[in-house]
């Protein structure tokens, strides 16, 4: 999860809340999981939502890619 947080730079005083995940499983040689996070400001209000797609090859050398989609 630490790698996910590095992909979501948030301002000082904001926090991330885990909203869940979905394991898509292996398909076309890729094992894909999707994670959702809400970004909260200092007042506890949701200011953005992030969808993280974390995909890893099921075959050596087991390459991994992490993409982030932010919506406000």
Q: What is the rounded CA–CA span in Å between residue 66 and residue 53?
A: 6
Domain assignments of the chain as residue spans, ordered by start: 2-71
What pTM was computed for the model? 0.86
The three-class DSSP label of residue 5 is: helix
CA distance 61 to 17: 32
pLDDT of residue 39: 96
pLDDT for the residue 19: 96
CB count within 10 Å of CB 47 equals 13
Per-residue pLDDT tens digits of the chain, which is 72 residues long:
788 888 888 999 999 999 999 999 888 899 999 999 999 999 999 999 999 999 999 999 999 999 999 998
Beta-bridged to residue 37, according to DSSP, are 18, 50
């Amino acid at each position: 999860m630490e790698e996910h947080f590095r992909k979501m730079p948030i301002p000082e005083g904001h926090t991330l809340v885990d909203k869940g995940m979905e394991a898509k499983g292996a398909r076309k040689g890729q094992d894909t999981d999707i994670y959702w996070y809400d970004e909260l400001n200092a007042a506890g209000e949701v200011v953005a939502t992030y969808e993280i797609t974390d995909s890893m090859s099921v075959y050596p050398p087991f390459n991994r890619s992490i993409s982030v989609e932010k919506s406000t």
